[in-house]
């Protein structure tokens, strides 16, 4: 396997681990220890070593954060500021993120194993742009005048939904955090954020920058801790008005149950995926293989829209497999601070072992291992890019979300077969289509039950493009103006009209 794993440890890495500045909870504008005084370790996946210990928030800490957020919403200035003033503070927040881009990128690399080069040039700069995008929308939130059917004057108001709980995953700790924080701030909401326990460090740094930018105390609170405790406390809380959750389908179901059992708060859920990439005979082989590898190996496969099921039409299948195998062998796995590396370590030992167990399942079920399948090196959580052929649709590796660099490669004959098999999943988050035939692209894109379809591209995200799922991939949307409306209530106001010359 051409992994080129360099075997570097944290001490001789390309970038030294920074001094960690913030490890406490952030409540009402202050960094505080947890009520219990407990802390937990956050681990560097490059080595398995402890980076630092972080405050472990629990129900009592969530209660304090919600109390602060409720006071800030009910009595504070944030929801009452003109939208333009909220936007001005958000613009300053974005500028501060740009100013600290390198340190933020380092935190996400040491905490999540993400490529430093991508974080510094793409992830963190796009976070700042996301904040600016919604800052520009903050003074454009308005309802509409209604054309009533009788002697009434009616209009709608769009009002902030209130205190929101934002539960964020570990695979994109900055990008997905700000897909929620930015529209919530623009709408005038206050919030309690729970970052994933695997990746708490950057969220605490962003809280510090929010305070420097002038976001009022109590508007943005961060509780680091575990899902079973802090996450559950947010989901069940009677004084939280909405929860937005990104993560697994299993936990999403628990969040929804908690919301129903407490105060019937609305929830937005962006959950798992098993996304198909459908490649037709007329596709350019080089482009198709590049997109197929990117679709499953980007961010070491730890991405909910990963194209983990690749369907290739029989006319080009053999040539595609040969080219794919060649390119996979040149994919460089190693220290994520190395600019030549394309794939860093999985986020933690649990995820590492889960992926390897699925690879063993694939072998036992009769799939053929084309490339990879093994750990890389003797330290850290690195796995070779892994491709299976001879995969059947009912195999675990074709049905379950593995969340790692594991591709299930399959052959199809007709467009009808491709559509049927692409839809043969409980998920519906994303799909890709590679073809030069516009009619085929139109037919397939309208037939696949998924929230976003990419034609002749993959991972083509944009802050203006709504993103979310069908089926068991969840509901609600992040990004775009739909993402803003997730944090707004519609209120109708009606008054009688007397002796009006027209309705």
Write out the catalytic residue numbers: 270
Q: What tokens appear for 210 in the block? A: 């929010």
What are the distances in angstroms from CA 108 to CA 42, 224, 386? 12, 15, 24
Q: What tokens appear for 176 in the block? A: 């997905």
Nearest-CA neighbor of 486 among 258, 270, 223?
Answer: 270
Q: Cα–Cα distance between 271 and 123 in angstroms, integer?
A: 21
DSSP category for residue 467: B
Nearest-CA neighbor of 324 among 284, 290, 294, 301?
Answer: 290
Nearest-CA neighbor of 45 among 198, 270, 193?
Answer: 198
50 touches 42 (CB < 8 A): yes
User: Max Cα separation, the chain?
Assistant: 84
Q: Cα–Cα distance between 176 and 302 in angstroms, integer?
A: 13
371 touches 327 (CB < 8 A): no
Nearest-CA neighbor of 224 among 350, 61, 347, 107?
Answer: 61
> What is the three-class DSSP state of 57?
strand
Stated as kind and residue range, the H or E segment containing 300 is none
Helices (H), 138-224: 175-187, 201-213
> Going by DSSP bridges, is the β-strand pair 242-246/220-222 parallel, antiparallel, or unpaired?
unpaired
């Amino acid at each position: 396997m051409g992994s080129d794993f360099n075997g570097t440890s944290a001490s001789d890495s390309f970038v030294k681990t920074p001094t960690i500045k913030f490890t406490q909870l952030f409540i009402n504008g202050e960094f505080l220890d947890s009520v219990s005084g407990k802390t937990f370790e956050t681990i560097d996946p490059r080595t398995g070593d402890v980076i630092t210990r972080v405050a472990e928030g629990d129900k009592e800490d969530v209660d304090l954060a919600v109390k602060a957020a409720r006071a800030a919403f009910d009595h504070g200035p944030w929801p009452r500021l003109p939208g333009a003033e909220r936007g001005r503070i958000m613009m300053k927040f974005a500028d501060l993120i740009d100013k600290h881009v390198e340190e933020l990128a380092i935190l996400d690399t040491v905490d999540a194993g993400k490529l430093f080069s991508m974080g510094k040039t793409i992830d963190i700069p796009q976070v700042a742009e996301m904040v600016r995008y919604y800052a520009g929308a903050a003074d454009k939130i308005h309802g509409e005048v209604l054309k009533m059917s009788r002697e009434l004057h009616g209009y709608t108001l769009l009002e902030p939904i209130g205190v929101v709980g934002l539960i964020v995953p570990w695979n994109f700790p900055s990008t997905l955090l700000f897909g929620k924080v930015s529209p919530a701030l623009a709408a005038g909401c206050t919030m309690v954020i729970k970052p994933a326990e695997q990746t708490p460090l950057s969220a605490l740094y962003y809280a510090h920058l929010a305070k420097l930018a002038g976001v009022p105390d109590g508007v943005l609170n961060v509780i680091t801790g575990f899902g079973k405790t802090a996450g559950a406390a947010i989901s069940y809380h009677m004084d939280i008005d909405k929860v937005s959750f990104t993560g697994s389908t299993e936990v999403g179901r628990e969040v929804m149950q908690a919301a129903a059992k407490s105060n019937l708060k609305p929830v937005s859920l962006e959950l798992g995926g098993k996304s198909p990439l459908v490649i037709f005979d007329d596709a350019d082989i080089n482009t198709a293989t590049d997109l197929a590898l990117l679709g499953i190996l980007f961010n070491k496969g730890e991405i909910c829209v990963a194209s983990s099921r690749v369907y290739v039409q029989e006319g080009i299948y053999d040539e595609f497999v040969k080219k794919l195998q060649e390119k996979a062998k040149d994919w460089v796995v190693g220290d994520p601070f190395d600019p030549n590396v394309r794939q860093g370590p999985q986020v933690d030992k649990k995820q590492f072992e889960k992926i390897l167990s699925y690879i063993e399942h694939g072998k036992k079920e009769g799939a053929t291992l084309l490339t990879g399948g093994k750990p890389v090196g003797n330290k850290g959580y690195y796995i070779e890019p892994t491709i299976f052929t001879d995969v059947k649709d009912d195999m675990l590796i074709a049905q379950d979300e593995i969340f790692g660099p594991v591709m299930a490669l399959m052959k199809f004959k007709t467009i009808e077969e491709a559509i049927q098999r692409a839809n043969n999943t409980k998920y519906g988050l994303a799909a890709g289509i590679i073809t030069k035939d516009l009619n085929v692209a139109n037919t397939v894109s309208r037939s696949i039950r998924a929230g976003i379809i990419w034609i002749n591209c993959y991972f083509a995200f944009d802050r203006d493009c709504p993103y979310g799922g069908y089926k068991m991939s969840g509901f609600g949307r992040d990004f775009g103006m739909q993402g803003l409306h997730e944090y707004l209530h519609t209120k109708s106001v009606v008054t009688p009209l007397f002796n009006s010359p027209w309705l």
